Amino acid sequence: MISRSYSELIRLPTFEERFEYLSLRGKVGRETFGFDRYLNQMFYRSREWKRLRNEIIVRDNGCDMGVEGFEIHQALYIHHLNPMTVADVESSDPSILDPNNLITVTLRTHNAIHYGDGKLAPLRPIERRPGDTKLW
């Protein structure tokens, strides 16, 4: 199993490099929640998770994968760099609350990391220039 970390991720300067580092290429963790989905829902509703979630958003400046210029203006998701399993939740594995295992993403980026490739990832933001009056 590949072990990813935030401390390694932030060394990669571009969105594309970070996406490549995190990409699971359609391979979700071997052990998914399935009928035990209530476990991860209980976890995501916990006070401890909600507090940590807010800290991660602040740390990442509300940017997709923490990359400046990729500000998230709608729903934010916190992605586990190493997918969480039923066993992790049942045993209260420290990795599920480790900031070094978490990053802020958009839903589109999250789905691209888990199920797709770079084509599903967000496009690079349009750079604005002084005097540029075209809105879109």
Q: Within 10 A of 25 (CB to CB), how many other CB atoms are there?
A: 9
Has residue 53 got a pLDDT over 70?
yes
- Comparing 132 with 111, which gets the higher pLDDT? 111
Q: Which residues contact 114 (CB under 8 A, 6 or more apart)?
A: 24, 26, 28
Q: Within 10 A of 97 (CB to CB), how many other CB atoms are there?
A: 15
| Distance between CA atoms of residues 87 and 79, nearest Å | 18
Rounded to 5, what percent of the chain is helix, strand, coil? 45, 5, 45
Specify whether the CB–CB gap between 113 and 23 falls below 8 A: yes
pLDDT at 130: 76
Q: What ranges do the domains of the chain cover?
A: 6-120
Alpha-helical runs (H) found in 37-83: 37-44, 47-59
For 78-127, the pLDDT digits (tens) are: 999 998 888 888 899 999 999 999 999 999 999 899 887 666 666 555 56
Q: Which two tokens stand for residue 89?
A: 């939740």
- Comparing 128 with 60, which gets the higher pLDDT? 60
- Comparing 110 with 55, which gets the higher pLDDT? 55
Buried-state track 66-86, b at ≥16 Cβ within 10 A, e below 16: bbeebebeeebbbbbbbbbbb
Question: Which amino acid, one-letter code, is at 105?
Answer: V
For 5-28, the pLDDT digits (tens) are: 999 999 999 999 999 999 987 655
Alpha-helical runs (H) found in 60-100: 86-90
